[in-house]
């Protein structure tokens, strides 16, 4: 399974800051040991695509709607992402679920729509601290995968990103043993559902823990937040 190093910039970086970042990152991307994907904010998406043309860097959108166009104020079109040169769409991030109320049913529609356009969905799953402490992690992930992939095409590419909600932006990180156990569970659930997909780990990944985490079973790469905002820290992660 190929390694993927993905960067979720959330609501950071202006178009000018995006161009500045990639003018530097293009010089070192050749050091990466896998595919490198960036998810800039919607307003900086075109700047990212334009600045990375001709490089190995892939660009995607952090979100999309389930239709290409229409009266959907404030939404993003996956068709536009495709037309400007994007190749990935991030779907179901915990912030989209918790803050914006996205349901598994909506997420399933997004996955299917993105695949229909020939783009690759990166489906995010993960449990809260309360769910982990109640030993409900497996059940939560199984439900999210079962419902989120309900309309997905098994013959088309898809990437899964496991991000324990309690480890996102908190400075906490799952132990290598917890990562190995959970990624093995996710792999078994996907296999049962008939899917083959890279499984990325996300949740306070940094240069000093990436090397150990990448060694764990069924870890095919990372979805990185804060540590992806600086060229030096992200390339260190992408070269493990």
Tokens 């990325």 found at: 200
Q: Which residues are catalytic?
A: 93, 163
């Amino acid at each position: 399974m190929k390694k993927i190093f993905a960067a979720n910039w959330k609501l950071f970086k202006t178009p000018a800051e995006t161009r500045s970042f990639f003018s530097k990152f293009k010089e070192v991307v050749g050091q990466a040991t896998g595919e490198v994907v960036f998810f800039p904010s919607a307003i900086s998406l075109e700047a990212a695509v334009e600045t990375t043309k001709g490089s190995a860097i892939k660009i995607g959108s952090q979100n999309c709607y389930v239709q290409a166009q229409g009266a959907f104020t404030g939404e993003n079109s996956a068709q536009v992402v495709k037309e400007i040169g994007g190749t990935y769409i991030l779907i179901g991030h915990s912030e989209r679920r918790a803050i914006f109320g996205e349901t598994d049913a909506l997420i399933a529609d997004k996955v299917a729509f993105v695949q229909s356009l020939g783009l690759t969905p990166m489906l995010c799953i993960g449990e809260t601290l309360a769910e982990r402490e109640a030993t409900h992690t497996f059940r939560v992930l199984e439900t999210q995968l079962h419902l989120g992939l309900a309309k997905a095409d098994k013959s088309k590419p898809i990437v899964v990103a496991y991000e324990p909600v309690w480890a996102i932006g908190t400075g906490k990180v799952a132990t290598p043993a917890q990562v190995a156990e959970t990624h093995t569970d996710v792999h078994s659930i996907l296999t049962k559902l008939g899917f083959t997909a890279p499984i990325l780990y996300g949740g306070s990944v940094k240069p000093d823990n990436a090397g150990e985490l990448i060694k764990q079973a069924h870890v095919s790469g990372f979805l990185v937040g804060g540590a992806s905002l600086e060229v030096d820290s992200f390339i260190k992660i992408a070269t493990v």
